[in-house]
Amino acid sequence: MSDIVLITGATSGFGRAAARRFADAGWSLILTGRREERLTELAEELSQRVRVHTAVLDVRDEKAVQSVIDELPEAFRRVKTLVNNAGLALAPQPAQDVDLADWHTMIDTNIKGLVNVTHAVLPTLIETGAGASIVNLGSVAGQWPYPGSHVYGASKAFVQQFTYNLRCDLQGTGVRVTDVAPGMAETEFTLVRTGGDQAASDALYRDTTPLQAEDVAELIYYTATLPAHVNVNRLEVMPTRQAWSAFAVDRD
């Protein structure tokens, strides 16, 4: 029997690249996301090589999350790795100019959605035991402040602390938990963040060398496939060409 990975947000970016990476290693895939046509397309590509189960799923919908887990086909029930990847940033403008609805969407997706999926899959992971893992997609924004990060960065700080706290409670079960925290990576992330502004997205990634989805997928796969006695707590990664800047000082 091959190992089984469940990936949220497998329709784009890191999630889709991770699906391909795990498929390369022969894992069975449970792929979820809201965009059905993208899931179908990816399943058609990967099911040539490995077993694939897809489920259209909005992680914010607690009941739907539980149903997807409860109704997994027998061959996909014993999940070994959960990749909590679904997430988004919205409204890059200053906090004082943001619609409250955008803050709520980030909290509902990046925090409550991740919690919904984790809660539903935990019993299975504990049953799997040694070698099982949860890989949470955090961000450098969860550790380092910058303008326009407001609730997005705060939601990723939650991911970091939730990861650490889970580790405490899961001690003795064999289940590992990791916060993979990337910096700037070229995916559909900025298109979503800017409300579909392709020019703004292109401008951010132009004339530099951002991380690619495949780079992050490799890190996700790496943490999940280390020997069972090794737990990476947090893996923060930036493009070589990205670093921090000076403190901002308001002057007269």
Residues that bind ligand 8X3 (CB under 6 A): 139-141, 183-184
Q: How far is CA 182 from the centre of its chain?
A: 10
164 is catalytic: no
Query: Which is nearer to ligand NDP, 81 or 128 (by Cβ)?
Result: 81
CA trace torsion 115, 83, 152, 238 (10° rounding):
150
Query: Which is nearer to ligand NDP, 192 or 226 (by Cβ)?
Result: 192
Query: Which is nearer to ligand NDP, 12 or 128 (by Cβ)?
Result: 12
Tell me how far, at minimum, the Cβ of 80 lies from ligand NDP, in Å. Answer: 21
Query: Which is nearer to ligand 8X3, 26 or 94 (by Cβ)?
Result: 94
Q: Which residue's entry shows tokens 């792929």?
A: 31
Could you list the residues that contact ligand NDP (CB under 6 A)?
8-9, 11-15, 33-35, 38, 57-60, 85-88, 109, 113, 137, 139, 182, 184-185, 187-189, 192
- Catalytic option among 146, 152, 164, 221: 152
Q: How far is CA 135 from the centre of its chain?
A: 8
β 52-56/28-33 pair status: parallel
- What is the three-state SS of 44-72? HHHCCCCCEEEEECCCCCHHHHHHHHHCC
Query: Which is nearer to ligand NDP, 13 or 92 (by Cβ)?
Result: 13
Separation CA 224–CA 83 (nearest Å):
9
52: partner contacted, choices ligand 8X3, ligand NDP, none (Cβ within 5-8 A by kind): none
Tell me how far, at minimum, the Cβ of 130 lies from ligand NDP, in Å. Answer: 27
59: partner contacted, choices ligand 8X3, ligand NDP, none (Cβ within 5-8 A by kind): ligand NDP
135: partner contacted, choices ligand NDP, ligand 8X3, none (Cβ within 5-8 A by kind): none
Token pair in block for residue 26 = 């022969």
Judge contact between 231 and 131, C-beta under 8 A: no
91: partner contacted, choices ligand 8X3, ligand NDP, none (Cβ within 5-8 A by kind): none
Which residue's C-beta sits nearest to ligand 8X3?
A: 139
Token pair in block for residue 124 = 């299975």
Tell me how far, at minimum, the Cβ of 78 lies from ligand 8X3, in Å. Answer: 31
122: partner contacted, choices ligand NDP, ligand 8X3, none (Cβ within 5-8 A by kind): none
Which residues participate in catalysis according to the annotation?
A: 152
